[in-house]
Amino acid sequence: MNVVLCSGVMRSGSTWCYNILRGLIGTTADILSIPFYVSYLEGDGLDEFLLTDEALTPGAAVFKTHILGLQAKQLIAKGIVKNVCTIREPRDCVASRRLFKSGETLPDSIAMVRGSFATIMGLSPETTLFLDYKDIVTKPKECVLSMMDYLGLDYGDQNDELASNLVAEFSMVKMAEMAPQDGIDPLTEIHANHIHGGQIDRWKTELSDSEILVVDKLLREEIDWYGNSEMGGSDISGCC
């Protein structure tokens, strides 16, 4: 089975990316007349699947995840499993997380964001395609074309049209309309209260000065990685 993972830090556009990948790989599977699977798997559950005979069956699959286990990381490093990873300024992840989980405390939001960064900070841009949230919001079509290139997908004259159609189908407005009143949509993985306008750098206005000091201190390693590794809006994102 050809497995593509949609990983990423929390609140970084990974659900948008997952649905774009569903569209791309699903289209390819239809063209090739092969089975196509989608699911949400985390950590040990994903690793266990990758070690089963089922993972060797014909077809293609897209799995959404926020936690990568050892087996998944090894397969990514070897180029056996493709991985598209969405990233975002850590302080923005916290601000967005607090909108998404309105009852969550600041320390809990910080812990969730830190945990999701921990699982992807060791990945290499040689085998993982990193997509920055800023590019997803401002240049979504370019990001879709980058995914096509990374995955080796070529639909000839239809590349631009397919990318444009997917961007339109999963625009911020359309995804907000898809969001259920409660729970999670099992196909799109869109949660209730999931979409909040896609604002960039919302932490600067939505976190208080004292909250920013706490986040800066507790997420310093993640903030430095995002900035110093040239993740923010750089060539590594694959969108520019």
Among residues 23, 237, 6, 19, the alpha carbon closest in space to that of 134 is found at 237
In this prediction, residue 184 carries a pLDDT of: 87
In this prediction, residue 193 carries a pLDDT of: 77
Report whether 110 contacts 90 (CB < 8 A): no
In this prediction, residue 230 carries a pLDDT of: 52
Q: How far is CA 138 from the centre of its chain?
A: 16
In this prediction, residue 164 carries a pLDDT of: 97
Q: How far apart are CA 113 and CA 152, in angstroms?
A: 31
Q: How far apart are CA 219 and CA 226, in angstroms?
A: 11
In this prediction, residue 110 carries a pLDDT of: 96
In this prediction, residue 229 carries a pLDDT of: 62
* φ and ψ of 112, to 5 deg: -65, -45
Which domains occur in the chain, in start order? 2-88+124-195+231-237 (3.40.50.300)
For the chain of 240 residues, list the mean pLDDT of each consecutive stretch of 10. Answer: 94 94 96 95 94 91 95 96 97 92 91 94 95 96 97 94 96 87 88 80 95 97 85 41
Q: How far is CA 61 from the centre of its chain?
A: 15
Side-by-side strand order, sheet with 60-64: 36-40, 60-64, 2-8, 82-87, 128-132
